[in-house]
Amino acid sequence: MNDQLALPVGITLDRFIMRNEADFPFATGELSQLLRDIALAGKIVNRDINRGGLADISGQFGSQNIQGEQQMKLDVIANIRFIRALKNGGEVCAIISEEDPELLATGNNKAKYVVAIDPLDGSSNIDSNVSVGTIFSIYRRLTPMGTEPNINDALQKGRMQVAAGYILYGSSTMLVYTTGRGVNGFTYDYSLGEFFLSHPQVKTAAMGDTYSCNEGNMDDFPASIQQYLHKCKGQRLTGRYIGSLVADFHRNLLKGGVYLYPSTTKNPTGKLRLLYECFPLAFIIEQAGGIACDGKGRILDIMPSSLHQRSPLYIGSTKMVEDIYSLCFADAS
């Protein structure tokens, strides 16, 4: 009876990470600490987002990033928060950020890991109070420890990731990540200031009833994708498109569905960035039982050639992505 008066609150992210350290014989706590550093920065960014309107940190910053996109004030703030956390944590030798043109060496030359990050994906939606997110990817460095990192440490195939995840800032704040042993989601408890395990071993449906795509660009899509979208409509599938990649991906991960961001006549190589958008989400979806491709092959098999390389992305429930791939293959032949 007394136990019922104080029910357990669940497993915290820190405790979960510590319990699973034994899964990584090559690590001696550094990866665990790195994940904690990312979670801490996520808590701070979550606070910044929630007080954005009161602190005059919403709206445009007044400059463009390396992609030629207008930076929002919170883009800049989130970038500073995560870079500061990763530098001070000491486990990262180099960072690739959407907001910075070049590889950023942290000065921690003895560190094992490289992080690719989109500090605040979907930031153009902030002023409309729409969900946004952070996407991150972690690699083991290729250059010898103790030396200066270089671009080769960043340009690795997606299959070389040791961990990847995202933080969704929405009606609730969630951190979802994988280390190659399934996908787990943690929900932030504001009253305790902790992430708690809420979605253990997430599995996505093999077939969903939702497709997510900006159909305003449909006339510029490849014929195969136009054909697929007409098929979706014919099957009375539900169209759901938020315009924040993390939010669209998260919904489809939990409920089943497919997210499409094809190439267009304006962006023939696609628009999403390979290293810090496509790769981490592809790693997550494959660990959850789904699949991701660019219309030609698996996303995780692409060998990147530049830090801000772009790619088409079709990601989600296996049967839906395979259907897209077969249409793209037929279109190409």
pLDDT in tens, 205-248: 999 999 999 999 999 999 999 999 999 999 999 999 999 999 99
Distance CA 253, CA 248 (A): 9
**Mean pLDDT value of segment 159-171:** 95
- Give residue for tokens 């989130």: 78
| Strands of 104-105's sheet in order across | 104-105, 92-97, 113-121, 132-140, 161-169, 173-178, 183-189, 194-199
**pLDDT tens digits, one per residue of 284-298:** 999 999 999 999 999
| 30 belongs to an annotated ligand binding site | no
Average pLDDT for the chain: 90
**pLDDT tens digits, one per residue of 67-126:** 555 567 888 999 999 999 999 999 999 999 999 999 999 999 999 999 999 999 988 777
Q: Which of the four pLDDT bands, split at 50, 70 and 90, describes residue 57? A: very low
| 190 belongs to an annotated ligand binding site | no
**Mean pLDDT value of segment 303-314:** 97
| 123 belongs to an annotated ligand binding site | yes
The per-residue pLDDT for 45 is 95
- What residues does each domain of the chain span? 8-199, 210-332
- pLDDT above 50 (res 141): yes
Does the structural domain 210-332 have CATH classification 3.40.50.300? no
Task: Look at residues 212, 243, 236 and name the one whose alpha carbon lies nearest to residue 225.
Answer: 212
Are the C-beta atoms of residues 257 and 247 closer than 8 Å to each other? no
The per-residue pLDDT for 54 is 44
Q: Which of the four pLDDT bands, split at 50, 70 and 90, describes residue 4? A: low
Distance CA 180, CA 45 (A): 26
| 184 belongs to an annotated ligand binding site | no
The per-residue pLDDT for 8 is 66
| 98 belongs to an annotated ligand binding site | yes
| 267 belongs to an annotated ligand binding site | no
Q: Which class in CATH covers the domain with range 8-199?
A: alpha beta
The per-residue pLDDT for 330 is 72
Distance CA 324, CA 328 (A): 6
**Mean pLDDT value of segment 245-253:** 97
| 73 belongs to an annotated ligand binding site | no
| 214 belongs to an annotated ligand binding site | yes
| 108 belongs to an annotated ligand binding site | no
Are the C-beta atoms of residues 253 and 202 closer than 8 Å to each other? yes
Give me the percent of the chain exceeding a pLDDT of 70. Answer: 89
The per-residue pLDDT for 52 is 61
Q: Which of the four pLDDT bands, split at 50, 70 and 90, describes residue 59? A: very low
| 277 belongs to an annotated ligand binding site | yes
- pLDDT above 80 (res 147): yes
The per-residue pLDDT for 121 is 92
Distance CA 253, CA 261 (A): 16
Neighbours of 197 (CB within 10 A): 15
The per-residue pLDDT for 89 is 95
The per-residue pLDDT for 42 is 97
